[in-house]
Copies of this chain bind each other. A is one copy, B any other.
Amino acid sequence: MLTERQKSILRMIVDDYVRSAEPVGSRTLSKHVELGYSAATIRNEMADLEALGYLEQPHTSAGRIPSQAGYRYYVDHLVSQDVALRAKDIEEIKQLFATRVSAFEQAAQQVAHVLSSLTQYTGVVLGAKVYDTTLKSLQLVPLSGQSAVVLVINSAGQVQNKTVTIPDGVPMHDVMQLTEMINRALCGTPMYRIRSRVYEELMREVARHMEDYEEASRLLDQILQVTEEPQEPNVFLGQATNMLLQPEFQNIHKAKSVLSWLEKRDEVLVSLATNALHGDLRVRIGAENEVESLQDCTLITTSLHIGQIPIGVVGVVGPTRMEYGRVIALLRTLSSGLSDVYGRIYSGHSSG
């Protein structure tokens, strides 16, 4: 348990270091008006904080910098719970949500972008699969030759499509009958249950009506694949290269490591997706990220939701030396704004 004085010294060191990226010395701190102690006193406290593992010294004659444990303590106990956002931040966020967007993708991309430009870190948005959607409609539009487009629309209005080949032995009216049967029997079925319900309920009928059962079921399989195709990952990145402006990424190898990781959308996806398991807002500092490339980074994520249902994640990736308070405030604001947009677009425009 830290004393109040230790806490305020730790807080000041973190704040100062986050701003300047330079180790903070005792003299610098003693100049702060709020702290009415001499450099020597502060030095003693700093030595204690270092012994406790909250501070580190790059070398003997340098000031102190926060350790990862120090950041962790700061985030858990010291960060002011509601940082007032800067006027500029508020202005940009207002403008962002003022522009009418017609698709969640647009809004998500813009949010990622704004996060990056306001913070100089990288904003990320994961528009996860909308949970619990059901089949709204399945359509098949013939193209020239043997090919056709299969369209699957779910109850959230999302569309999946794929070009399929109609096997030789299946006449057009069988194709049409097949899609009709599916629509009639399976409308309203949860997407993940479609295949099993087809096997349970539809196969016998297919066998009875189709001219060439084997070919027809081959077509049916292609159609079912469309319903099972995972929604595209929907990972949106802000301007990742902004981070190259941060002093910690002047080292090209560190920079490459993080930027390469961000390039692999599916890995980013996994890291973001685990947010859902950890409640509202999650801060992962340095080694708390399992990912090798993020050992010197902090990843802060918060979830998007409509009512109680989680539907996505908004986050920020940056160096461990991060403006925690401000980023958290930004994330809270933006995630609730984006949740609203999502709700408006996918819930029948009920609120506007």
Contact = CB atoms under 8 A, between A and B. Distances in A.
A244 B244 CA distance: 12
A256 B240 contact: no
A250 B165 CA distance: 49
A175 interface: no
Contacts of A241: 256, 259-260, 263
Contact of A250 (B102, B163, B249, B252): B252
A146 B345 CA distance: 11
Interface string A245-287: 1000110100110011001000000000000000000000000
Contacts of A349: 145-147, 165
A145 B348 contact: yes
Interface stretch (A134-142, A193-201, A204-212): A134-142
A348 B147 contact: yes
- Chain A interface size, as a band, is 35 or more
Contacts of A137: 141
A151 interface: yes
Interface stretch (A59-67, A123-131, A153-161, A301-309): A153-161
A348 B252 contact: no
Interface string A303-320: 000000000000000000
Nearest to A251: B252
Contacts of A136: 141, 143
A252 B255 CA distance: 9
Contact of A259 (B156, B244, B250, B345): B244
A43 to B, nearest CB: 35
A139 B152 CA distance: 12
A240 B262 CA distance: 11
A143 to B, nearest CB: 5
B255 A348 contact: no
A3 interface: no
A346 B162 CA distance: 11
Contacts of A250: 252
Contacts of A345: 163
A229 to B, nearest CB: 10
A149 interface: yes
A314 to B, nearest CB: 19
A318 to B, nearest CB: 16
Interface in A36-61: none
A104 B335 CA distance: 34
A6 interface: no
26 contacts: A102-B162, A102-B163, A136-B141, A136-B143, A139-B151, A141-B153, A143-B155, A143-B348, A144-B155, A145-B347, A145-B348, A145-B350, A146-B348, A147-B349, A149-B159, A151-B151, A151-B153, A159-B159, A163-B345, A165-B349, A240-B259, A240-B263, A241-B259, A244-B259, A252-B252, A252-B255
Q: List 7 A-B pairs, minimum CB-CB distance, nearest first.
A: A145-B348, A159-B161, A244-B256, A241-B259, A241-B260, A157-B163, A137-B141
